Chain A
Amino acid sequence: MTVSPLAWLRRLHSAFAAGAQLLAPTSAACFLCGKPQSAARSVGSAVQTKLLRQLRESLCGDCLSAIPWLTRIACTRCGRGIPCEDCIRSPHGAFQFNRSAVHYNSAMREMLALYKYRGNEQLAPLLAAMLLPVFEAMTTEIILRTSRSQKPNTKSETRFTDCWDAVTYVPVSMERENERGFNQAEQLASRIANDYNLPLMQLLIRTRHTEKQSFKSRAERQRDTQSLFNVRADQLQRVYTRISNSTNERNKGQTVSRILLIDDIYTTGSTAEACSQALIDSAAWPIEMYILTWARS
């Protein structure tokens, strides 16, 4: 069996990382509830083996089992766990579909608040890790959808780079970024882009500073998000140049490019809609927008 030197090196690297991990101090307390983990971990670990190690290591069994994963999707467009009236009412939006990792319940609200408002950035890798399985499932779903005729290669290593042309995120205003110190969507997106070797681009900027979305009603949100986002043309051009220069099989046949937009939460979809619309409108070539959010309310 021949192994390419590069792959071998990669293996060596991961072996080394795993070895080093053994020496690393395991975090004694659960990231969410702060309780010492050792006692509680045994409860959930047997069931949750499928979950990422990162999650298992930083959360206690109780907190881990409290995560309401969105495994069954009722609305294929907005990724909700229950049939969705919004999507039935207006089935054609700017974006293709949204997928979310978890259902936004009070526990998740608390978790997001800890990260977003309290500023506990240690949770960022955790939330991003929660996105990964959904991202993979989403990619597989797209590949299956688009190439129904021949047997799609859903296991290939390169399927992610083949499938996606760019990863971007919902921007926050300068004021908010200054106040908060980070953009949660950007942090999530950078993890995905990093892990799957996808280009992360800041395609959008927020034109004005608005009140926190979470304080607003549905109508207010939808009114508010109109013309809220501007497209950075230079960045968008970079996406195009990338596509036209790539030797990707898929791009030879078709010119539609897929852009993944990442945000922390999908509530009414108005943000996702506005962002997608802005991008589609300003792109000179056809693009398809897909939304990946951490929580679906």
Chain B
Amino acid sequence: MRVQIYVIKVCGSWQARMTIHAEVDKHFWMDGLYGGSGRLNSDVAEAGWLLQEGMPLGDACLAVECWETAYSSKRLKTVIAERNKLAVERVDKLDHLNKFAAVFRNNGGSSVDDREAAELLIACVEQVKRQVEQEKADAGRRRWLQFGGRSKRQIKLGAERLMSLVERWERVAEGSEAGRRTWMEGAESREAMSGMRMEGAESGEAMSGMRMEVAEGSEAGRGMQMEGVESREAMSGTRMEGAEGREAMSGMRMEGATSREAMRGMRMEGAEGREAMSGMRMEGAESGEAMRGTRMEGATSREAMRGMRMEGAVRDEAERQMRVKRAELERIAAGAKRAAAMVQGRALLRSEAHALLSGAGSPGAAADWSAMLQLAALLGLVRLSGSIAAENGGQSGALGRRRRERRCLRCGSGEASQHRTACASCGRICAYCTACLGMGRSRECELLVTGQRSGLSGAEPCDAMMGKLPPIEQRLRKWQLSPAQTAAAVKALTFVEEAYTNGPHLPRGEPSSPREFLLWAVTGAGKTEMIFPLVEAVLLRGGKALIATPRRDVVIELDPRIRKAFPSAAVVTLYGGSEQRWESGDITLATTHQLLRFYQGFDLVVVDELDAFPFAGDPLLHYAADKSCAPGAARLLLSATPPSELQRAAKRGKLPHARVPVRYHRHPLPVPKLLQTPAVKQMLQQRKLPPKLLSALRTSLARGAQLFVFVQQIAQTEAMAALLRAALPCLAVAATSSQDAERADKVLRFRARDIRVLVTTTILERGVTIPKSDVYILDADGRLFDEASLVQMAGRAGRSADDPFGHVYFCSRERNRPQQQAVSHIRTMNRIARKQGYLLPSGKGGSHR
């Protein structure tokens, strides 16, 4: 999209800004009053220049940046000053200055300053354009054709030329058009006018009454007395009105020559009328004179009234416009605040922001949204920028030319993911990010709306709240955790609450990396239950919690559990194609991809299964997870098999962590048994299962267990299922994989024991809990199964308290390192559990190892 840029003089210094709706900016800076919403801008600008020409968003951001550096260093400024000198010398000096004066009609030195600012703005834009041209040329293969430094093109701008490029913004002065130009003044004068009109009507009636009396001549005496009383009342009313009117008028005096004169006239009339009335009252019984006086006064005030009425008619139109504008302003101001509240904590592309705002039933067309968003941006509630921006600086290329590296502000991907194409919406070559394309196209000229955090945060002092909250142990009781879970939860909860106790001392707004805590819990330890108290702690303080996991299946499975645990909280579940896409709640459950759409939105971020695909090894998702944390927020990393660098950091004490070495039912993890079997490929070719494996499978089936059979390749699943179906005394054998549309259904049937044997790939290695199950991992020496994966798959067995001793078999031709590591991992966990006394004593059906 194309935007405009402008410079503005606030408190004596200039600043450049970019706008998607210039009208809003003009009013904000030059007036700052928004009807009923009051004054939104306390630093009204003195003057401004708006560049008439719209430019691509990316360029505009660059130009603003360029302006800032140039203005601060004054380098360009002096260049311009020199150029001006040259220009002045060359052109007739007087003529030049005259033009100046004619154009700006401004006082003395400030116009020079003004002009410099405007020229600097244009110079910056020119520079950006040149830079873009150069990049375009660089993109082509003509690089070697462009040796040598480019001579700086000088822009010579006459005053008219300048004025044709830029539009001048001036503060609303006491000019003739002031009333029409400023809305607030309009509002004031409108009140005054309506007051006056009422007054006019009243005194008009009084006058007409008097006139009638004059005509009725004969009954002048007594009748007049009565009338006198009446009109006295009317007049005292008028006097009051007059007093009010005077105030109104003093306010309105600012309003310019015509209205001022009218007002003055009216004030005079008011004075006359008042005098007349006082005279009338004084005269009282002397009705004849009073009558004469009244008649005279009546005549004059009738004229005044007529004049006022005419005046009123003239102003009526303007007034109506003012009212419309005022209403519009109020609407925009209210809309901006609402929009800011909705966008808060999010980072959205323009289309997404529009979808969000329109989803909430905000009225109006697209133009309105940009006005509201722009106002919100001016208020600092929202940040508007291109969604791909040039990084600051950049290294010099081989030819001494600076090359600006682009970075996607939404997903953090660098230059390597940027793909440049001709863009019809901005009219030049612009880059889009290929890394986060699946979440909507992030373009250089596409607007990124980032909600800024205001007030509400983890750093809020909560001392009063802290007093009210019961101690940690008491709060944990209601979740009924096992001893091992409780120990870890206490540790984690203390960590989370640190922010609240030390909150005010934390540096605010600093983009510090989030505080991380690793919760290393074995498979089936009840991780989800452990995060409940943490989520509760954040919710109790009015914060927002996010639970993110790489896999969509897990999100969907988690949803009912969270809703059950927090029946009163608003839970929003986000994944590709989620219905709740634009809702916001206390607890957000999302796939890690959805985090791209958030910005500092959460006080607690829980990343579940952080070592799982696609989160592991995707810098984009890590960036998104970092970005979604509010400053000072706690981030909880959950895993049964943390990546080795995290394990190391935890061991060295660099990463606060808690380890849960035992399952919630307090039985040890099943230790895998190693079976030597041929490769799956060979089994399939020979259409024969090895007897050792077959007997193990039969034993498992005989004990009534559900069987997981893991293979390496999707292609092998169906074939293996067919082979098993033929070999086993059980027909309920099914296969599933990531490419199976009926996967969810098959898992359900497996859980319901309609399917007894499920052949699958690593897709089901986590997040699935089947009560009584045994696990067979074929080709356990395969490339795709590493230690983490083996531990996870082994973790499918024995998860329920009813059947805590499931069987796990690693079937492979050779025992390799990952298998041994997995076995020793499981044994270590069991040993730690025993040492810490978390295991049930063997007498109660506990450990038999």
Task: Say which one of B89-97, B253-261, B415-423 lies at the interface with A.
Answer: B415-423
Q: Is A182 an interface residue (CB 8 A)?
A: yes
Q: Which chain A residue shows the least CB distance to B424?
A: A177
A118-B441, A119-B441, A121-B419 known; A180-B434 Cβ under 8 A: no
Select the residue from A119, A177, A180 with max chain B CB neighbours within 10 A: A119
Inter-chain contact B443/A122, CB cutoff 8 Å = no
Inter-chain contact B423/A181, CB cutoff 8 Å = yes
Chain A residues 114-163 with CB under 8 Å of chain B are 118-122, 124
A119-B432, A121-B419 known; A182-B424 Cβ under 8 A: yes
* Bound Cα distance from A241 to B443, whole angstroms: 40
* Bound Cα distance from A182 to B425, whole angstroms: 8
Q: Is A178 an interface residue (CB 8 A)?
A: yes
Q: Of A118, A181, A182, A183, which is within 8 A of B437 by CB?
A: A118
Q: Mark B419-447, 1 if CB is under 8 A from A, else 0.
A: 10111110000001010011001010000
Using a Cβ–Cβ cut-off of 8 Å, how many residues does chain A contribute to the interface with B? 13
Inter-chain contact A182/B441, CB cutoff 8 Å = no
* Bound Cα distance from A212 to B571, whole angstroms: 35
Distance from A124 Cβ to chain B, minimum over Cβ atoms (Å): 8
Q: Which chain B residue shows the least CB distance to A124?
A: B421
Q: Is A179 an interface residue (CB 8 A)?
A: yes
Select the residue from A119, A180, A181 with max chain B CB neighbours within 10 A: A181
* Bound Cα distance from A181 to B56, whole angstroms: 12
Q: Which chain A residue shows the least CB distance to B419?
A: A122
Chain B interface SS verdict (over half): mixed
List B contacts of A177 (CB < 8 A): 424-425
Q: Of A118, A178, A182, A183, which is within 8 A of B438 by CB?
A: A118
Q: Mark A95-131, 1 if CB is under 8 A from B, else 0.
A: 0000000000000000000000011111010000000
* Bound Cα distance from A125 to B1, whole angstroms: 25
Q: Of A120, A124, A178, which is within 8 A of B425 by CB?
A: A178
Distance from A52 Cβ to chain B, minimum over Cβ atoms (Å): 21
Inter-chain contact A183/B421, CB cutoff 8 Å = no
* Bound Cα distance from A133 to B351, whole angstroms: 38
Using a Cβ–Cβ cut-off of 8 Å, how many residues does chain B contribute to the interface with A? 14
List B contacts of A180 (CB < 8 A): 424-425
Inter-chain contact A121/B425, CB cutoff 8 Å = no
List A contacts of B1 (CB < 8 A): 178
Chain A residues 165-187 with CB under 8 Å of chain B are 177-183
List B contacts of A120 (CB < 8 A): 434, 437
Distance from A85 Cβ to chain B, minimum over Cβ atoms (Å): 32
Distance from B428 Cβ to chain A, minimum over Cβ atoms (Å): 11
Q: Which chain A residue shows the least CB distance to B439?
A: A118
Q: Mark A257-276, 1 if CB is under 8 A from B, else 0.
A: 00000000000000000000
Inter-chain contact A181/B425, CB cutoff 8 Å = yes
Q: Which chain A residue shows the least CB distance to B351?
A: A179
Q: Of B419, B424, B432, which is within 8 A of A178 by CB?
A: B424
Q: Which chain B residue shows the least CB distance to A176?
A: B424
List A contacts of B441 (CB < 8 A): 118-119, 181
List A contacts of B421 (CB < 8 A): 121, 124, 181-182
List B contacts of A119 (CB < 8 A): 432, 437, 441
Inter-chain contact B432/A179, CB cutoff 8 Å = no
List A contacts of B434 (CB < 8 A): 120, 122
List B contacts of A179 (CB < 8 A): 351, 425
* Bound Cα distance from A119 to B422, whole angstroms: 12
List B contacts of A124 (CB < 8 A): 421
Q: Mark B393-426, 1 if CB is under 8 A from A, else 0.
A: 0000000000000000000000000010111110
Distance from A62 Cβ to chain B, minimum over Cβ atoms (Å): 10
* Bound Cα distance from A88 to B381, whole angstroms: 63
Q: Which chain B residue shows the least CB distance to A179?
A: B425
Q: Which chain A residue shows the least CB distance to B432?
A: A119
A118-B438, A122-B434 known; A181-B443 Cβ under 8 A: yes
Inter-chain contact B424/A183, CB cutoff 8 Å = yes
Distance from B477 Cβ to chain A, minimum over Cβ atoms (Å): 48
Distance from A125 Cβ to chain B, minimum over Cβ atoms (Å): 11
Distance from A181 Cβ to chain B, minimum over Cβ atoms (Å): 5
Q: Which chain A residue shows the least CB distance to B438?
A: A118
* Bound Cα distance from A118 to B438, whole angstroms: 7
List A contacts of B423 (CB < 8 A): 181-182
Q: Mark B229-258, 1 if CB is under 8 A from A, else 0.
A: 000000000000000000000000000000
* Bound Cα distance from A124 to B420, whole angstroms: 13
Q: Which chain B residue shows the least CB distance to A174?
A: B424
List A contacts of B419 (CB < 8 A): 121-122
Q: Which chain A residue shows the least CB distance to B422?
A: A182
Binding site for B on A (CB under 8 A): 118-122, 124, 177-183
12 A-B pairs whose Cβ atoms sit less than 8 Å apart in the complex? A118-B441, A120-B434, A122-B419, A177-B424, A177-B425, A178-B424, A180-B425, A181-B424, A181-B432, A181-B441, A182-B423, A182-B424
Binding site for A on B (CB under 8 A): 1, 351, 419, 421-425, 432, 434, 437-438, 441, 443
Task: Rank and list the top 5 A-B pairs by shortest CB-CB distance, nearest first.
Answer: A119-B441, A177-B424, A178-B425, A121-B421, A181-B423
Q: With A121-B421, A182-B421, A182-B423 given, can you name 4 additional A-B contacts, CB distance below 8 Å? A: A119-B437, A178-B424, A182-B424, A183-B424
